[in-house]
Amino acid sequence: MSLETRITEAATAAVHRLDEDLRARLAALTEELRTAAAEVAVEANTAQAETATAHAEALAAHAEATAALEQQVTDLQAALADRDRKLGDLDELVNTTRDTHAMALAQLRQEADATLADAERALVEAVRQAQLQNEQGKAAALLESTQLARQDVAGRVQALAHAISGMDDATTLSEVLDALSEGLAAQTPRSAVLVFQEDRARVWRRSGFPQGAPGIGADLHLPDHADLKAILDSAAPAMVEASVDGPVLGLAPLPDGQQGLAVPVAIGGQSAALVYADGGTDAQALVPGWTDAVEILARHAARCLETLTAMRAAGYARTQRPDVVVPMPPHLRVVQRPTLETSMGDAIEQARRVARLLVSEIRLNREADVMEGRAHGDLGTRLGSDIERARRQYTQRVPEALPGRETLFDEEIVRTLANGDATLLKTGS
């Protein structure tokens, strides 16, 4: 056998063996792949089953959560609907309550205004009557006490009458204060009249005080004298006790155990001056009823000052009475001291007179319209401009501080123009 044949056979055998070896290896690999594929398939089936189970559980949980969420949405919608219903009911209740309260408040205000107007009218009249009765009562008490007093009581009463007459005849505020000072000096050992100006009190007149006391024209600073300021603010009479802190009311010390009397002189409810009196070092000189005499002088001075102030505001001026000698029958004899006269009245009565004068002018100038207005019940329309013009003149003449100023004018309008029937003063068609 040739070498070439042997090489060919050897190569063929090697190739054959290599082929079988490769086939064997391929079969082994194929088997391994099949085994691995089977295992993978088993694992895949297992994983798929587990995934399906998890998916089913997730779907169930999702469905359950969706149902719960839908239930919550339903509950929330129901709660919102209930809230809207309650809000609607609450708005309706609030509107109803507001309307009810508004009507009740309007009625209460109307009733309160009417009650206040009635109370103001009653108060004005009560104050006037009380002042008149108080002055009369004080005068009667003083006259009764003089019957049991000392022998010089008659002289003091005469001095009191002289001072009151002097204040009645005064034509200026200064003359009133001077007459007041003279009357006080005749009633008590020590007296003074102070005039208030802003935060100061000026000594107008004084009698019986020592040289160290503030002189006439001296100013007392109110913030430095608490007792003086307290009496000014209260506008009420006050008994003054002895004080160890210094002079009372900034005037002079008051001996221990003694009392003084301070009486504000009020004009329109405001203290314009102050009257003070005490016994000084001679308390025995004070007779029974001296406090009444001092208060009468102070109150009468207030009325006279109010009258003069009202007259000035109304454009009137009081002149001195001329001395006229009137022949008298033999059985008559003129009293040589000034007689007690009735003054024009307090500021309230003066305001009534001013209103009566102005409204009477309307009635005289518009008599036909007044009659027509009463017949048709429209006086306010026919006489509106005249009434407003008279009201402006009235407010210019009557001080604003006078209590019930507008009420006095309205009452005169109703009385004089409407014959007491306020419904006739309506306006419009």
Q: Find, among 187, 185, 186, 219, the residue nearest to 202 by Cα.
A: 219
CA 356 to CA 358: how far, in whole Å?
Answer: 6
Highest mean pLDDT among 236-245, 285-294, 360-369, 382-391: 382-391
- Token code pair at residue 421: 């029937």
* pLDDT at 413 exceeding the cut of 50: yes
Chain position carrying tokens 């024009």? 344
Q: Look up residue 354 and give its two tokens.
A: 């001013």
Instruction: Quote the longest CA-to-CA distance of the chain.
Output: 216
CA–CA separation, 110 and 101 (whole Å): 14
Options 3.40.50.300, 2.60.120.10, 3.40.1390.10, 3.30.450.40; CATH for 149-314 is 3.30.450.40
- Checking if the pLDDT of 32 tops 50, the result is yes
Q: What whole-number distance in Å separates Cα of residue 279 and Cα of residue 208?
A: 9
CA-to-CA distance for 133 and 139, rounded, in angstroms?
10
pLDDT digits (tens, 9 = 90+) for 156-175: 777 788 789 888 888 888 78
Return the pLDDT at 102.
77
- Give the Cβ contact number of residue 217 at 10 Å: 8
**Where are the chain's structural domains?**
149-314, 347-425
Query: Using alpha carbons only, how large is the chain's radius of gyration in Å?
Result: 55
Length of the chain: 429
CA angle (330 as vertex; 326, 334 as ends), nearest 5: 50
CA separation (Å) from 62 to 54, 56, 58, 71, 76? 12, 10, 6, 14, 20
Per-residue buried b or exposed e for 75-114, using 16+ beta carbons within 10 Å of the residue's own CB? eeeeeeeeeeeeeeeeeeeeeeeeeeeeeeeeeeeeeeee
- List pLDDT tens digits, range 59-118: 888 788 788 878 887 888 887 788 888 888 877 876 787 778 778 777 877 886 787 677
List C-alpha distances in Å: 272 to 174, 190, 220, 309.
13, 21, 15, 12
Q: Per-residue pLDDT tens for 361-390?
A: 888 788 889 999 999 888 888 999 999 999
State the DSSP H helix or E strand holding residue 210, giving kind and residue range, or none if neither. none
For position 255, what pLDDT does the model report?
A: 83
pTM higher than 0.85: no
Question: How far, in Å, CA of 345 to CA of 347, rounded?
Answer: 7
Which run of H or of E encompasses 273? Answer: strand 270-278
Q: Looking at residues 165-193, what average pLDDT do you find? A: 86
